[in-house]
Amino acid sequence: MLTIKILGSGCENCKRLAWLAERAVNHLGIEAQIIKVTEYPEIMKYNIMSTPGLVINEKLVSAGRIPSEAEITTFLTDALERA
């Protein structure tokens, strides 16, 4: 099972990223846990300059923008291959 973290304050961009990640997970039919990380000290552990951030299995794959659902799907399949 993959662990997906959405890094951000809970703004609209963060919510959209979480929604897109959930859609990608459902589209692939995989098991994944989506965690929203909103605490600033926790976010800073990933050394990002702007949110939203997307972390898959503790690897930062996107920061400061909202990747497309297709990009997220690619990130997820790459993570599955490494797992």
SS (H, E, C) the chain: CEEEEEECCCCHHHHHHHHHHHHHHHHHCCCEEEEEECCHHHHHCCCCCCCCEEEECCEEEEECCCCCHHHHHHHHHHHHHHC
Q: Which of the following is catalytic: 4, 6, 7, 14?
A: 14
Could you confirm whether 14 is annotated as catalytic? Answer: yes
Q: What's the start-to-end Cα distance of the chain, in Å? A: 9
pLDDT-derived band of residue 11, with 50, 70 and 90 as boundaries?
Answer: very high
Please tell me the total count of domains within the chain: 1
Residue span of the structural domain in which 71 resides: 2-82
pLDDT-derived band of residue 83, with 50, 70 and 90 as boundaries?
Answer: confident
Indicate the average pLDDT of the chain.
96
Q: Which of the following is catalytic: 11, 35, 44, 70?
A: 11
For the entire predicted model, the pTM comes to 0.95
37 pLDDT more than 90: yes
Any idea what the CATH number is for the domain that residue 70 is in? 3.40.30.10
Could you confirm whether 19 is annotated as catalytic? Answer: no
